[in-house]
Amino acid sequence: MRRLPPLRALEAFVRTVKLGSAKAAASELAISAPALSRRIKALEDFIGKPLFDRKAQAMTPNDDAHRLIEAVSPALDMIADAVDAVSDRDAEFRLRLGVLPLFGSQRLIPNLGELRRLYPKLHLDVITSTHAENLLGDSVDAAIIIASQVDEKLYSRRLDTNSVYAITSREFAERENLQEPNDLTGQTVFVHSEMPGTFDAWRREVGLPNLKPASVDHMDSGPLMLEAAAQGLGVAIMHGSHFSDARDERLTRLFDIEVKSPYSYWFVCRPRALERRAVRVFHDWLVRAEI
């Protein structure tokens, strides 16, 4: 049999490339940064060439690294599939799911009781991440993401369509006398850093494409945006479902205007992953339940 590189070295390499950060990869693997570097160095020594350009504290994958990850990712998937195939089909089975915190708290957890009732042997390991699609085949089996479009190499299923709302606290809206969209001039607006197009779409639809608030502050957390709005710190431009699912009496929707969002929630996984029981069962339940 041909000699193979250490699996731990390959795992460290794959996670570093996919996560885009040695620090993030070390955290995912629960090892120290020096230990991660040693594993990657062992792989580089094995193949006889560097895989990263190292400058200061940064590690940037080079062309050889990208070629290698394209080659080894399918093989690692096949290993995982082979292990899954010989597992006890009547035993407990587990899904590693990447999910956005707001979707998890508002839509997944409230419906998890039904999933457990239907499939008592299915268990979820939930990983909250804003870029869970980058972890597919590595630390997650499937993910629920929010995006305007999905990489065509992935299997994807759109879970919803949504509208964009302007949301703030009732007290703030009354105090600032926010009666029409142009009243946002001079206010602080919160926009999700991963969904910058929501504010652009909202401004165009209300007929004010050049509307300039006093400040546009970006956050990478939907729950934090809702709380900031509820505290009267400004106006959050975000999905209407987040407003309705929050059921927060402190919040109110400004202006009765329907604006279609360019973003949707999607279920995504690698095509081969649907052959796995846990992924298939969860996917079919999610589509059927329409949560």
Q: Are residues 33 and 176 in the same domain?
A: no
pLDDT number for residue 117: 92
Q: Are residues 123 and 140 in the same domain?
A: yes
Residue 261 is given by DSSP the state: -
Between CA 12 and CA 42 the distance in angstroms is 10
Residue with tokens 């910058």: 196
Q: Are residues 225 and 194 in the same domain?
A: yes
Q: Is 282 inside a domain boundary?
A: yes
Residue 47 belongs to domain with CATH number = 1.10.10.10
**Is pTM, for the whole model, over 0.85?**
no
Q: Are residues 30 and 50 in the same domain?
A: yes
Q: Are residues 150 and 268 in the same domain?
A: yes
Contacts 24+ apart (CB under 8 A), 110-116: 110/291, 111/289, 111/291, 114/289, 115/282, 115/285, 115/289
Q: Is 86 inside a domain boundary?
A: no
Candidates 63, 68, 55, 84; CA nearest to 13 is 68
Q: Is 83 inside a domain boundary?
A: no
Q: Is 88 inside a domain boundary?
A: no
Between CA 10 and CA 202 the distance in angstroms is 45
Q: Are residues 32 and 175 in the same domain?
A: no
Q: Are residues 248 and 172 in the same domain?
A: yes
Q: Of 17, 49, 78, which residue is a domain's last?
A: 78
Enumerate residues 6+ apart whose C-beta is below 8 A from 33: 22, 23, 26
Q: Is 205 inside a domain boundary?
A: yes
Two tokens at 105?
């708290």
pLDDT number for residue 84: 61
153 in Cβ contact with 89 (< 8 Å):
no
pLDDT number for residue 288: 86
Q: Is 1 inside a domain boundary?
A: no
Q: Is 98 inside a domain boundary?
A: yes
45 in Cβ contact with 13 (< 8 Å):
no
Paired with 156 in beta bridges are: 268
Q: Are residues 110 and 125 in the same domain?
A: yes
Tens of pLDDT, residue by residue, the chain (291 residues): 677 888 888 888 988 888 788 887 887 677 888 888 899 999 999 999 999 988 877 788 999 999 998 888 778 777 766 766 666 555 568 999 999 988 998 899 999 999 999 999 999 999 998 788 888 988 899 999 999 999 888 899 999 889 999 999 999 999 999 999 999 999 999 999 989 999 999 999 999 999 999 999 999 889 999 999 999 999 999 999 989 988 999 999 999 888 999 999 999 999 888 888 899 999 999 988 888
Reduced to 3 states (helix: H, G, I; strand: E, B; else coil), residue 145 is: strand
Q: Are residues 108 and 230 in the same domain?
A: no
pLDDT number for residue 138: 81
Range of the domain at 245: 164-254
Q: Is 85 inside a domain boundary?
A: no
Q: Are residues 268 and 157 in the same domain?
A: yes
Task: Work out the burial of residue 106: count CB atoms within 10 Å of its CB; fewer than 13 is exposed, 13-18 middle, 19 or more buried.
Answer: buried
Residue 115 belongs to domain with CATH number = 3.40.190.10
Reduced to 3 states (helix: H, G, I; strand: E, B; else coil), residue 132 is: helix
Number of structural domains the chain divides into: 3
Q: Are residues 275 and 154 in the same domain?
A: yes
Q: Are residues 62 and 183 in the same domain?
A: no
Helices (H), the chain: 7-19, 22-29, 33-47, 63-85, 101-103, 112-118, 170-176, 197-205, 222-230, 240-246, 277-289
